[in-house]
Homo-oligomer: A and B are copies of this chain.
Amino acid sequence: MRVVLPAGTTETALIDGISAAGAAPELMEHTPSADVEILAYGEPVMSPVTPVSPNGCPTPAAVTRAVREVIDFDVAVVDAGLTQSTAAPTVDLGVEPGTDVREAVAVPSADAVFDRAYDYGVSLPDDELLIGETVPGGTTTALGVLTALGEPTAVSSSLPENPIERKRRVVDEALAASDLEPGDCEGRPLAAIEAVGDPVQPTVAGIAAGALEAGTAVTLAGGTQMIAVAAVLRHAGIDAPLSIATTSFVADEQGDRLEAACEQVGCDLTVTDPGFDGRDHVAMERYCAGEAKEGVAMGGALSLVPDDEMAAVRDRLEAVCARLGIDGTGEGSSVAEGSRGP
């Protein structure tokens, strides 16, 4: 079992009103680079930001790292268009950052990215892959791709109040800029990504497609962003079994729509509740209040935890939070420089 984590950026995250409240846009592009440092080293190392919201909600990378400190798993981070350098080891597939979806082309050469990611995925010797993502703005680009493919269009948010109408307007603009109507890209998923997606999508999809071709079991670790990737794979004619593993926080927000969406794209669904509601700690309280919800393979990593070790994960999360400058009370949280986009 290996966790593969494509990490990238899109200028879409900078659009006013879809980025996380309180986060300075110029710092958001550091978030995925900091996330993968937290996953690799347990804390930001050379990244100048620590992705913690002003409320004291840490990036999901903190949770995935806490899981890793309890049940060790191998990680391969893939540079899927990072803007800022990172001290984490990354696989270089030559992926460039994405541009604003409201431009004509959002992901130049999406098909070439998919092909290189496929070659990587097909070559991996693992029996089982869990593929996650970290890309601020990723739910908006997921909405874009789902809409272009003519698939159901509910997406999640890292904010308690999902700015879904704002996202829909952005996607409408994005489709118009690419001369597309909803559903125009049916059966042409890479055209959908090129027009209104982000560079993490063809990277995840390509690795998944290659791995499936090699007979590897693939779980997509994420929420509605992974529904979009699953739709991409299905529209590419790939009908191998596919699973999605996400958090109870996404499931709580999405309700019945989540299962319906998984059914529509032919994916098994695993939802894991980390039991944060039993703890008096600001980070876990913020997750229970609907902040962040998912990302950095959080739901997939949690799905690997045996029931009797989940309490240890919560303990480790407190330790990781302390390293990120979050004390449990929510007072004196000194670090609020970055944040995940919705």
A interface residues (Cβ-Cβ under 8 A, vs B) = 40-43, 45-46, 72, 75-78, 85, 87-92, 119-120, 123-126, 323
Contact at A89–B72, with CB atoms within 8 Å?
Answer: no
CB-CB nearest in chain B for A126: B41
Contact at B89–A45, with CB atoms within 8 Å?
Answer: no
Contact at A89–B91, with CB atoms within 8 Å?
Answer: yes
Partner of A87, one of B75, B120, B126: B120
Not counting A46-B123, A88-B91, A90-B90, a sample of 16 additional A-B residue pairs whose C-beta atoms are within 8 angstroms of each other reads A41-B125, A41-B126, A43-B125, A45-B123, A46-B120, A72-B72, A75-B89, A76-B89, A77-B89, A85-B92, A87-B91, A89-B90, A89-B91, A90-B91, A90-B92, A92-B92
Closest-CB distance, A43 to chain B (whole angstroms): 6
Contact at B42–A125, with CB atoms within 8 Å?
Answer: yes
Contact at A46–B119, with CB atoms within 8 Å?
Answer: yes
Nearest 9 A-B pairs (CB), nearest first? Answer: A89-B89, A45-B123, A89-B91, A46-B123, A76-B89, A89-B90, A77-B89, A43-B125, A41-B125
How many copies the complex holds: the figure is 2
Residues in B with CB closer than 8 Å to A43 are 125
Closest-CB distance, A62 to chain B (whole angstroms): 14
Residues in B with CB closer than 8 Å to A92 are 85, 90, 92
Residues in B with CB closer than 8 Å to A123 are 45-46, 87
Residues in B with CB closer than 8 Å to A40 are 76
Closest-CB distance, A34 to chain B (whole angstroms): 12
Contact at A124–B90, with CB atoms within 8 Å?
Answer: no
Closest-CB distance, A90 to chain B (whole angstroms): 5
Residues in B with CB closer than 8 Å to A125 are 41-43, 45, 323
Residues in B with CB closer than 8 Å to A323 are 125
CB-CB nearest in chain B for A90: B89
Closest-CB distance, A206 to chain B (whole angstroms): 13
Contact at B91–A124, with CB atoms within 8 Å?
Answer: no
Instruction: Please name 7 pairs of A and B residues whose Cβ atoms are closer than 8 Å in the assembled complex, sorted by A.
Output: A45-B123, A46-B120, A46-B123, A87-B91, A87-B120, A88-B89, A90-B90
Residues in B with CB closer than 8 Å to A87 are 91, 120, 123
Cα–Cα, bound, A89→B93 (Å):
10
